[in-house]
Amino acid sequence: MCDTCGCSQPGESGVTYSKPHHHGDGIFHHHHDHNHPHEHNHDHHHDTASRTIEVEVDVLSKNNRMAERNRGYFEAKNVLALNLVSSPGSGKTTLLERTITDLKNEIHFSVIEGDQQTMNDANRIAALKTPVIQVNTGNGCHLDADMVNRAAKELDLPEHSVLMIENVGNLVCPSLFDLGEFGKVVIISVTEGEDKPIKYPTMFAASTLCLINKMDLAPYVDFDVKKCREYALKVNPNLQFFELSAKTGQGMSEWYQWLKGQLPG
């Protein structure tokens, strides 16, 4: 997994957690080291392949334990936590901006923003007067359950609320990391090509809902929506879909209905 893309190599930069100030410019930072599994004691007689597998199992099982703690925390507070996953630029933050604007009188939202660098997305959410923590993963290409645990505690989530976790834009690694969320929502935009679900099947297999975004651009690009759905259903027969445009608002009401339908209690 991440040994291939390099994100589990020792990072030069640690993970940082930042909260925008009211005007989005001030930052406080919590630093902590990105605990990747390098300290794990290997049997030096193992070959490289078996070591790699051993480390992956170790990382994922450690992550899964923390994810279960998060899940218990969310359940105890009746918090609906959703993990938004996609390639970079599919429209995750735009979707959040519109969703929060349209539903904030009915639902309390908190947001965790994951990006390698910058406060850009957190600043966009903070502009809506919505509590948000930016997690900058440095070299890391996904959020893990420990990062979400720290950020969620910092947010002090109210009972009966929604936590939106915008993962790092990456269609591969975030699929492997359970964050303790209720479900993953995969966003694919019509500019990406309809074959993504079969090229990157793990993400579509791991998701509960698929939002096909930027439908306003569909007339201008060769994106076969029907084929995209068929491909995605091949890897996940239970996947649900909504076609929408976070820009124009087209199709957003079905997504809102779905979201309200998942609220605990």
Residues that bind Mg ion (CB under 5 A): 92-93, 121
Q: Which of 18, 36, 59, 91 binds ligand GTP (CB under 6 A)?
A: 91
Cβ nearer to Mg ion, comparing 66 with 140: 140
Tokens of residue 203, six digits: 């993400």
Q: Which does 175 bind (CB under 5 to 8 A by kind): ligand GTP, Mg ion, none?
A: none
Cβ atoms < 10 Å from Cβ of 166: 27
Cβ nearer to ligand GTP, comparing 128 with 217: 217
**CA distance to 14, 60, 177, 220, 221, per residue, from 48 (Å):** 26, 18, 23, 48, 44
CA dist 225 and 207 (Å) reads: 18
Cβ nearer to Mg ion, comparing 93 with 236: 93
Find the part of the chain contacting ligand GTP (CB under 6 A) among 32-40, 91-99, 174-182, 228-236.
Answer: 91-99
Cβ nearer to ligand GTP, comparing 19 with 124: 124
Cβ nearer to ligand GTP, comparing 72 with 89: 89
Q: Considering the complex, what minimum distance in angstroms separates the CB of residue 186 from ligand GTP?
A: 11
**Residue 60 contacts residue 176 (beta carbons within 8 Å):** yes
Q: Which does 34 bind (CB under 5 to 8 A by kind): ligand GTP, Mg ion, none?
A: none
CA dist 207 and 185 (Å) reads: 6
Site string for ligand GTP, 202-221 (x = CB under 6 A): -----------xx-xx----
Our finding on whether 249 is near ligand GTP (CB under 6 A) is no
Our finding on whether 254 is near ligand GTP (CB under 6 A) is no
CA dist 198 and 187 (Å) reads: 15
Spatial neighbors of 98 by CB under 8 A, at least 6 apart, are 246, 249, 252
Cβ nearer to Mg ion, comparing 144 with 166: 166
CA dist 34 and 212 (Å) reads: 33
Helices and strands (H, E) in the chain, number of each type: 9, 9
Q: What does the chain come to in residues?
A: 265
Our finding on whether 121 is near ligand GTP (CB under 6 A) is yes
Our finding on whether 72 is near ligand GTP (CB under 6 A) is no
Tokens of residue 51, six digits: 């070591």
Q: What is the CA radius of gyration of the chain?
A: 18
DSSP-assigned letters across all residues of 202-213: HHHHH-SEEEEE
Q: Considering the complex, what minimum distance in angstroms separates the CB of residue 168 from ligand GTP?
A: 7
Q: Considering the complex, what minimum distance in angstroms separates the CB of residue 237 from ligand GTP?
A: 26
Residues near ligand GTP (CB under 6 A) are 86, 88-94, 115, 121, 169, 213-214, 216-217, 245-247
